[in-house]
């Protein structure tokens, strides 16, 4: 059986050209995005993920990276 969310209950998320990244809320303080002090930022590391989906270490957990072509998702 296919189920759909109520209209307006799910927001669409789009990328401006980079990968989509799902970071667990518990490790958000460890995510520096594109503003990291390191030579390679978290964004740079996310862009290096091969394939359509990958995991990226963040703190003591991992972020889910949706790479390849940027597309809308919910």
Q: Residue 61 has what pLDDT?
A: 95
Nearest CA to 20 out of 73, 71, 66 is that of: 66
List beta partners, residue 55: 64
Q: What is the domain extent for residue 56?
A: 1-74
**Residue 25 or residue 17, greater confidence:** 25
Pairing of strands 61-66, 53-58: antiparallel
The per-residue pLDDT for range 25-74, each reduced to its tens digit, is: 999 999 988 775 666 788 888 989 888 899 999 999 999 998 766 566 65
Give the count of beta carbons closer than 10 Å to the beta carbon of residue 59: 14
| Segment 3-9 mean pLDDT | 70
| Structural domains of the chain, count | 1
Q: Determine whether 16 is exposed, middle or buried from the number of CB atoms within 10 Å of its CB (0-12, 13-18, 19+).
A: exposed
Question: What number of residues does the chain have?
Answer: 74
Confidence band, pLDDT 50/70/90 cuts, at residue 1: low
């Amino acid at each position: 059986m296919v189920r759909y969310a109520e209209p307006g209950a799910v927001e669409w998320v789009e990328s401006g050209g980079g990968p989509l990244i799902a970071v667990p809320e518990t490790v958000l303080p460890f995510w520096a995005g594109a503003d990291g002090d390191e030579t390679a930022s978290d964004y740079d590391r996310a862009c290096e993920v091969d394939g359509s989906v990958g995991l990226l270490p963040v703190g003591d957990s991992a972020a889910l990276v949706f790479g390849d072509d940027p597309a809308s998702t919910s």
